[in-house]
Chain A
Amino acid sequence: MGRILFYCNLFWILFSLFICVESYRLKLGAINQPGPGFFPFSAGLVMLILSLAALFQSIRGREKEEKTLRQEPFRWWNIVIILIAVTAYAFSLEKIGFLINTFLFICLLLKVVEPQTWKTAIIGGLITTIAANLVFNVIFRAQIPSGILGF
């Protein structure tokens, strides 16, 4: 745990340095006439101080080591898949359209993340898509794009 914390704080240190540099380029102005960069610079500075402090704390090993036993496999690939799926949904929504996109999305998630039978996945996808369409496009008249098939 201590090591993870070390890297976290290292990240924050680098991040705050980046912010400070960028804010400086935005012009800080004087304390009584702050420029655009003043506020983010101050926030970045405080973050830098805090993360340095936390870094020292973690080095000194004040944090107790927690050994968590993993009884079940850590399925990081699920997370990656979900992230990619949602991102893909976002980008393709306007090209492919709401209905198809939703259907594919649900099918994909049901089949891959927590494996179901093909039957379950497709039925689930259909029900969700139809229900969602009813709710959003019909009832709320929301502007969700129709895409290729025009519906």
Chain B
Amino acid sequence: MEVFKDLIFGFGVVLQPMNLLYCFFGVLVGTLIGVLPGVGPPAALSLLLPVTFYVPPVSTVILLAGIMYGAMYGGSTTSILVNIPGEAASVVTCLDGYQMARKGRAGAALGISAFGSFIAGTITIFLLIFLAPPLAGFALKFGPPEYFALMVLGLSIMVYLARGSIINALIMVCFGLIIGTIGLDQMTGVPRFVYKSITLMDGIGLVQVVIGLFGVSEVLINVETTFKQEIFKTKVKGLLPNREDWKRSIGPIGRGTILGFFLGIIPGMSVVIPTFVSYVVEKKLSKSPEKFGTGMIEGVAGPESANNAASVGTLVPTLSLGIPTGASTALLLGALMIHGLRPGPLLIQESPEVFWGLVASLYAGNVMLLVLNLPLIGLWVKILKIPYHFLFSLILLLCIIGSYIINNNPYDVIIMVTFGLIGYLMKKFNYEAAPLVLALVLGPMMEKAFQRSLMMSEGGFGIFFTRPISASFFILALLILFSPLFLRKKRLREDLRAGD
């Protein structure tokens, strides 16, 4: 088949020693940068973009792909080890990954994360090759009403994200939505809740919030009482996932891959959302949903695969249409353009070695990631053995630097601390952080989509229901929102019967 011939050609390009070296270098640097909280693929790519200029085009592409992957994986490492999300998409990994680490299963968590990412990457690259053009066309069908409907759907799955009181979770959602409005309104330029503060005018960044809410608050909770309690069980039960872990994880990995890929295709879809969706799906499908949040490996395997799959998904519109879907892909495009390449429908025809080299390099990057990181798991786990009365200061330092580096603005650190305090209070009073984060991500997108849709329809609400895609999302959302009611009635009836 034509495609396989091209793919082999692509591999031929990638497997040259120089290019392999670039790939390795990219993955290594990417991982290191990604481990730093607050620095995700976009930052890593832009930090190293200048380097690519001295490198031939194809190698550039390979290098960048390696960096992207590395940074993604690095983000999960800190999430699992110290509950600091390395980047926004790793937030969900914190929920169960960190708990696994506390139980001495950090190795398994890191391992399943690496493997899950690898499997997801491999599958989605094939999907990319074969399905890119038709998928890109599908992606274009997403206009403002579809986005709005999708966001509403996203918020409705929130119902299942909550571990405890649903009302508290919903209050967190509202809180997140409100925080998301702080800053200049995108549609009218009017400052909202800014009170003349320059930092606030830019809005409250997701990364600062997340580092504070998860990382700092965790430290605060731990220092409440003396450290005689072991924060981390030092006896590590095996470094890699065992057979039972694999049995439980295969399903989530598969589902996460599909979910991540198809959601990632949608232009502008943040990589964060597929991870949340995957988590909720796994929770819903699990036989013991109440255990989620205490260290269920499904809660790591699914989202990590979704993360990787979504990143590959974002490449679909980028490569086939030349439309960037987010910060990382925009940088990739920019790098290509600097080299005089024009991504888009013509890229495959004009410069096949670049396109196929990229595709092959994605795969190589994937393999490289696994090869590089599996041995490192032993190293990471050793870090946990550092006594907590020293470790916690390192964690705090990492949080500070991570939040400062975003904008070189000390006020970002202040925001982080504030949310650290808020997160601590939330933990003490039983309010969950995850719904807040989801709302913070969805809120601004939702509002813009809503306003644009109304402009398109000149004020009529029908537009949401006359378009097939958005209508189906709304129906789905309604079903999800009201299904607990039906389930509760059933359970109530069963309880009553049992009580007799």
Query: Could you tell me which A residues sit within 8 Å of B by CB distance?
Result: 4-5, 8, 12, 16, 19, 22-23, 26, 30, 32-37, 39-40, 43-44, 46-47, 50-51, 53-54, 57, 72-76, 78-79, 82-83, 85-87, 89-91, 93-94, 102, 105-106, 109-110, 113-114, 116, 124, 128, 132, 136, 139-144
Contact A43–B220 (Cβ < 8 Å): no
Q: Which of A32, A141, A144 contacts B461 (CB 8 A)?
A: A32
A residues less than 8 Å from B454 (CB atoms): 32-34
27 example contacts (A-B, Cβ-Cβ < 8 A) are as follows A8-B429, A22-B193, A26-B192, A30-B459, A35-B188, A43-B443, A44-B178, A54-B165, A54-B171, A75-B223, A76-B224, A78-B224, A79-B224, A83-B417, A83-B420, A86-B396, A86-B400, A89-B413, A90-B400, A90-B417, A109-B393, A110-B389, A128-B393, A128-B397, A139-B32, A141-B47, A143-B405
Contact B396–A82 (Cβ < 8 Å): yes
Answer whether residue B156 sits at the interface, using C-beta atoms and an 8 A cutoff.
Answer: no
**Chain B at the A interface: mostly helix, strand, loop or mixed?**
helix
**Chain A at the B interface: mostly helix, strand, loop or mixed?**
helix
Contact A79–B220 (Cβ < 8 Å): yes
A120 to chain B, nearest CB (A): 8
A residues less than 8 Å from B188 (CB atoms): 35-36
Answer whether residue B177 sits at the interface, using C-beta atoms and an 8 A cutoff.
Answer: yes
- What separation, in Å, do the CA atoms of A142 and B404 have in the docked complex? 10
Answer whether residue B168 sits at the interface, using C-beta atoms and an 8 A cutoff.
Answer: yes
Nearest 6 pairs of A and B residues by beta carbon: A32-B459, A90-B413, A47-B174, A114-B389, A43-B177, A109-B393
Within 375-433 of B, Cβ neighbours of A (below 8 Å) are at 389-390, 392-394, 396-397, 399-401, 404-405, 408, 410-411, 413-414, 416-417, 420-421, 424, 429, 431
Q: Which of B178, B224, B447 contacts A75 (CB 8 A)?
A: B224
B35 to chain A, nearest CB (A): 10
Answer whether residue B33 sits at the interface, using C-beta atoms and an 8 A cutoff.
Answer: yes
B191 to chain A, nearest CB (A): 9
Within 173-187 of B, Cβ neighbours of A (below 8 Å) are at 174-175, 177-178, 181, 185, 187
B residues less than 8 Å from A109 (CB atoms): 392-393, 396
Q: Which of A19, A34, A72, A73 contacts B178 (CB 8 A)?
A: A19
Contact B168–A79 (Cβ < 8 Å): no
Contact A82–B401 (Cβ < 8 Å): no
Contact A39–B181 (Cβ < 8 Å): yes
Contact B404–A93 (Cβ < 8 Å): yes
Contact A72–B397 (Cβ < 8 Å): no
B residues less than 8 Å from A93 (CB atoms): 404, 410, 413
A residues less than 8 Å from B424 (CB atoms): 79
Q: Which of B171, B389, B404, B408 contacts A47 (CB 8 A)?
A: B171
A90 to chain B, nearest CB (A): 4
